[in-house]
Amino acid sequence: MDKNWMVLLQQQNQLSKVIETNQTTERFGLTLTEQDAKLILEERRHSLSEQKRIEFGESIITKIIYEFCDSDYIDQNNYIETIIRLQEMFYLYKNEMQDEITDDEVLHFMKEQFENICFGDLDYLESTCLANFAQAVRAGYDGYKRSDGYGEYSKFDDIKRWDYELYIETLKELCWR
């Protein structure tokens, strides 16, 4: 009976912490109901089980919420689903990177790519950006330690990105045809 009481107390504490994020996120038009928070925590439990991970102390959910709440690509309509998907990716890639990288480094990397490379595309973040980065970390790359996870993807990005000069060059080619 004592064990059940402690588990319930821990779950209530986690629920309260997730709901408390509304104090910060509502200025970005994002809020969670108690039911939303329960769903996110249930998905957390599922993700941890699926990835065979355990979490001590505070859940990563609140860190994810605070890191991503100001995103240009998250609104109230996709907020819950996005947080759930981001936590799934987080746990998966913590495993893929063999826990060599801190939680904050992973989150900073994820947020930067989500905003600047993926433009909110979670599939691209997971299957390309995080996959490439995890492969580099497993191979021994540790430059992220100096940058706290910021500015790292360009070292592994194998896709030519559009820039102003390339745009003008392409525009000229199209106009002269």
The residue that leads in pLDDT, 58 or 107, is 107
CA distance 42 to 45: 5
CA distance 112 to 26: 22
How far apart, in Å, do the first and last CA atoms of the chain sit?
Answer: 79
Q: What CA–CA distances, in Å, run from 165 to 45, 141, 155, 159, 161?
A: 48, 31, 21, 16, 11
pLDDT exceeds cutoff 90 at 57: no
| pLDDT tens readout for residues 108-140 | 999 999 999 889 999 999 999 999 999 988 988
pLDDT exceeds cutoff 90 at 25: yes
Average pLDDT score over residue span 90-116: 92
Closest CA to 114 of 136, 143, 93, 141: 93
The residue that leads in pLDDT, 21 or 149, is 21
Instruction: Read off the pLDDT band of 9 (50, 70, 90).
Output: low
Rg, Å, the chain Cα set: 19
Residue that the structure tokens 């490379």 belong to: 117
How would you class 160 by CB atoms within 10 Å of its CB: exposed for 0-12, middle for 13-18, buried for 19 or more? Answer: exposed
| 110-112-114-118 Cα dihedral, nearest 10 degrees | -120
Residue ranges of the domains in the chain?
1-96, 99-177
Q: Rounded to two decimals, what is the model's pTM?
A: 0.81
Residue that the structure tokens 């691209």 belong to: 124
The total of other beta-carbon atoms located within 10 Å of residue 9's CB is 10
Predicted confidence at residue 84, as pLDDT, reads: 96
Instruction: Read off the pLDDT band of 10 (50, 70, 90).
Output: low
